[in-house]
Chain A
Amino acid sequence: MFAPAPFLLKDTSVSQVMTQVCIALVPGIAAYAWLVGPAILVQLVIASLAALIAETAMLHIQKKPLAMFLSDGSAIVTAWLIALTFPPLAPWWLVATGTVFAIVVAKHLYGGLGQNPFNPAMVAFAICIVSFPALMSQWPSVGLQLPLVDQLNVILGLAPRVDALSGATPLDAMKTALKLGEGSQDVAALLANQDIYGNFAGRGWEWVAFGYLIGGLWMWQRKLITWHVPLAFIASLVAISGALWLLNPAQFASPLFHLLSGGAMLGAFFIATDPVSGCTTPRGKLIFGAGAGLLAYIIRVFGGYPDGVAFAVLLMNLCAPVIDLLTQPKIFGMKDAGKGDRP
């Protein structure tokens, strides 16, 4: 009998961690479902099924224990993040393709759980928005809530993708309006249109963002995440958007608008905090979060894509190893001793 110390262990496991992440997503999902209807729940199911099938296949090929890895919940978290970042009425095969790509390529081809250098959900988003830009930009028109049957028909491709569905996100609408206006459009005047922009940032969408914020704070309170990444992400997004907004409030939206629109909150609390592909040292996490917030703003405001969170996170994933290497904390007893190196 060989069982090494410690004999006492905290009651925790990977599946517990992943389950709690899923629970933390629930407030955001609830607001989302209230906003666009049950379509999002359908997408969550489609993505989850695709993820589990892809995960099973990959585990089988690699002869890894199925039960242990399928129950770890990591594939479900990836699937849910994909479903929540894709347009809610995207065709089922788009969500499924993105999910399978995330699980097979972004996760398992890099070695599986814990080995992926890039956030699998963001890889799926990036691949799909590059490959299917039109489908990935079709968001339901604001305020439009089709009945479940119609939504299912659209998702399953049984009904034509009517133009009425093909709106844009408030973030994208703002960008397009400002771009087309070439300086003649005013942010304040645009925001006055509460049908699109709601009270702060996007009718309905701002409440989804609040939902993610609540879930994120809960994760922080449960010590699933530390404050570093979300705070740095939000701070840098506020700093850059605030600076440009103060400089030219007519052409740049306020920090509040940017915080509550697009994937900012989801990104700050659920995506940039992914420990596998992110930074691990406290200072590294600050740099990672700040970099992701900054890049997200630059891409969403000056770039060609409707939102910048996915690319921002992927770019920061690239930098994570070197950031970690350069931000190793000083250890116990070596804080005054200059370089902590020992012979």
Chain B
Amino acid sequence: MLMNLFKFKGGVKPPTNKTQSLGLPIAMAPMPSRLVVPLHQSIGGTPRPVVEAGDKVLKGQLIGEADGWISAAVHAPTSGTVVEVAMHVQPHPSGLDAMCVVIEPDGKDEWIVREPVDYKSLTPEQVRERLQQAGVVGLGGAVFPTHGKLTASKTVPMEEMVVNGAECEPFITCDDLLMRERAEEVVRGIGIFRDLLQPKKVLIGIEDNKPEAAAAMRAAVEAVGEDFEVIQVPTLYPAGGAKQLIRVLTGKEVPASKRSTDLGVQCFNVATAYTAWRAIAHGEPVVSRLVTITGNVHEPRNYEVLIGTPMDELLKLATPHPDTDGIVMGGPMMGFLVPQPDVPVVKATNCLIAHSDRLFPPKAPEMPCIRCGSCAQACPHELQPFEMYWFSRAKNFGKTQEYHIFDCIECGCCSFVCPSRIPLVQYFRFAKSEIWAREREKNAADQAKERFEFKQYREEREKAEKAEKLAKAAAAQAAKKAAEAAAAAAAGEVPAPAAEASSPAPVAAPSAADAEKAAKLATIQAAMERAKAQREAAQPKNTEHLTPEQQRAAEEIESRRATAGLVPPETPVNEKSE
């Protein structure tokens, strides 16, 4: 099957370091002593906890309910007892806490009642609903709720569905082994996505350094009887970036301002397809995932790991070397050092690398940029990183946006090639977060201003309404008095029922007009009061705290001015009008 592949500009070729963890098949990680399951494991709303301390849970039982459409449910990874629902440090560079359900396993690993279904008997809405309820999210790293990507655009026909098995980051091999060992289920999962999106073509992209995975996938596609194309793409980091893989396979370039569906493309990771199949056809929600454990360890290997497993316990399985001084989650290009070793494995955890200075030597000190342009040549989004660096450093964030900083995917190619060892990506993250913070501040200020103006408006309106009410009451009073007077007069004369009925009318008419007039007057008065208040507010404030001598001096001056005819114009106007 020959296919015309496209190229993306830039990219780098770091040493792949994949063979270390490819020697052994996938193993099940043993049950950890406790599981810390964060509720917020996907993009979107934070799931609400539906269990509390002391509850018994079964494997696969819902513990966090999806909050909104872009959110995915969270489940107990094994059977046991909920110890607490509390804040714990997250596997995130910030080191911040988030709400987690802590479960003490009972060792039985007892499933809930699983309900396998044939998805073809379900409507697309039901499939999406089930995927959301099963907590299926993008396992390529972005953890976007998968059901949210499975609605075809109403305006643009879906042309290609790209399935990402590229796995371009060095060290990581979990997708490779998944495709080798569980290709059929991956292919069946892709089938679900295909049936929901109805693309014209399904393209499975795998980097050409994984021939075994590609062969397994081809065999599986044939065995299942699908017409998906398995395509080996050149090994070039970041070919596994969604936008780069879409470019390589379809020639389409998705800018930051658009979604891929706007161009008739959608992209899924192979592991996501696998979990989708398990969720639908086996009724198993996402409670585990494959994790590559590698780096500074004796026995690098891929494990099937329960979500919530503390990373340090997991790392011990591979026997880290004694000089290990940290854990990198993700690959060496885009991963990060976890803030503490016992943070839990989450759905986004594809790889743990034992860090040591021997494996990743400390960086040489940062030198000035010599504008050599290596970064621009390496950038897969064809940006000018050295210009963005310059403006980020100068905190000229407007300029960074002119140089398209938000198109940066933070792949690290620029930092990788920089001879001056400038941590360019860090500068861009800093600039982006500053821009976001400023936008939030501006929005907050705008809202505060709006609130204040509305409050002022409301107060004035209330004042006017009050004045009107008073005026009306006064008018009513006057009308009543007039009516009483008329009635008294009428009572003194001939008691004619007809006159009694009609007589108040002529009297009431002028009184109603009076009331209207009074209301108007009151409104005018209120307006004048406001104007006065405003004028007072606008007047100089340095006359407030005066010593008696100063006060006297000021008064003398004022009197002199008054005699000289220099009295401020407002005063007489004010007096006249009041």
Contact = CB atoms under 8 A, between A and B. Distances in A.
B383 A72 contact: no
Contacts of A13: 364, 367, 419-421
B243 A112 contact: no
Interface string A286-330: 000000000000000000000000000000000000000000111
Interface stretch (A46-54, A79-87, A90-98, A275-283): A275-283
B417 A10 contact: yes
Given A16-B419, A331-B382, A9 B363 contact: yes
Contact of B8 (A1, A4, A332): A332
B253 A333 contact: yes
Contacts of B418: 12
A9 B404 contact: no
A2 B326 CA distance: 10
Given A10-B417, A17-B419, A3 B368 contact: no
A271 to B, nearest CB: 15
Chain B, interface SS category: loop
A8 B253 contact: no
Nearest to B93: A4
Nearest to B401: A342
Nearest to A74: B370
Contact of B15 (A8, A74, A331, A337): A8
Nearest to B353: A7
Nearest to A17: B419
Nearest to A68: B365
Given A3-B363, A9-B421, A332-B243, A14 B370 contact: yes
A114 B332 contact: no
Nearest to A112: B368
A335 interface: yes
A194 interface: no
Interface in B381-400: 381-384, 386-387
B386 A280 contact: yes
B423 A113 contact: no
Given A6-B412, A8-B332, A10-B14, A280 B384 contact: yes
B202 to A, nearest CB: 23
B274 to A, nearest CB: 27
Contacts of A4: 336, 423, 425-426
B360 A113 contact: no
B407 A7 contact: no
B333 interface: yes
Given A4-B336, A342-B401, A332 B370 contact: no
A275 B333 CA distance: 27
B362 A332 contact: no
Given A115-B368, A335-B253, A342-B406, A5 B14 contact: no
How many interface residues does chain B have, given as a range? 35 or more
B369 interface: yes
A329 B407 CA distance: 14
Interface stretch (B254-262, B514-522, B559-567): B254-262
B362 A7 contact: no
B373 to A, nearest CB: 5
Contacts of A16: 419
A133 interface: no
Contacts of B372: 17, 275
A281 B384 contact: yes
A337 B425 CA distance: 26
Nearest to B414: A6
A14 B328 CA distance: 28
Interface string A1-35: 11111111110111011000000000000000000
Contacts of A330: 382
Q: For A12, A114, A330, A331, which residue has the most chain B Cβ atoms within 10 angstroms?
A: A331
Nearest to B403: A328
Contact of B416 (A6, A281, A341, A342): A6
Contacts of A276: 370-371
B380 interface: yes
A3 B416 CA distance: 14
A329 B382 contact: yes
A1 B95 CA distance: 12
Contact of B12 (A10, A17, A72, A114): A10
A340 interface: yes
Interface residues of A, number: 40
A330 B336 CA distance: 31
A9 B423 CA distance: 11
B476 to A, nearest CB: 57
A114 B404 contact: no
B371 A332 contact: no
A207 B420 CA distance: 35
A332 B407 contact: yes
Contact of A275 (B355, B370, B387, B423): B370
B66 interface: no
A41 B470 CA distance: 104
A334 interface: yes
A1 B326 contact: yes
B511 interface: no
Contact of B360 (A8, A65, A112, A281): A8
Contacts of B376: 280-281
A131 B313 CA distance: 74
A2 B330 CA distance: 16
Nearest to B412: A6
Contacts of B402: 341
B384 A9 contact: no
Contact of A8 (B9, B404, B416, B420): B416
A9 B375 CA distance: 13
B335 A113 contact: no
Nearest to A330: B382
B270 interface: no
Contacts of B243: 332-333
B417 A332 contact: no
Contacts of B406: 342
Contacts of B419: 12-14, 16-17
Contacts of A331: 255, 381-383, 404, 407
21 contacts: A3-B362, A6-B412, A7-B328, A8-B416, A9-B363, A9-B415, A10-B14, A12-B418, A13-B364, A16-B419, A17-B419, A74-B370, A280-B384, A281-B384, A328-B384, A329-B384, A331-B404, A332-B255, A333-B256, A341-B402, A342-B401
Q: Which 4 A-B pairs rank lowest in CB-CB distance, beginning with the nearest?
A: A333-B255, A6-B412, A114-B368, A333-B253
Interface of A: 1-10, 12-14, 16-17, 65, 68, 72, 74, 112-115, 226, 275-276, 280-281, 328-335, 337, 340-342
Interface of B: 8-9, 12, 14-15, 170, 243, 247, 253-258, 325-326, 328, 330, 332-337, 353, 355, 359-360, 362-365, 367-374, 376-377, 380-384, 386-387, 401-404, 406-407, 412, 415-421, 423, 425-426
Given A332-B382, A340-B404, 20 more contacts: A1-B325, A4-B423, A4-B426, A5-B334, A5-B415, A6-B334, A10-B416, A13-B419, A14-B419, A65-B365, A113-B368, A114-B369, A226-B373, A275-B370, A275-B371, A280-B373, A280-B386, A328-B403, A332-B253, A334-B253
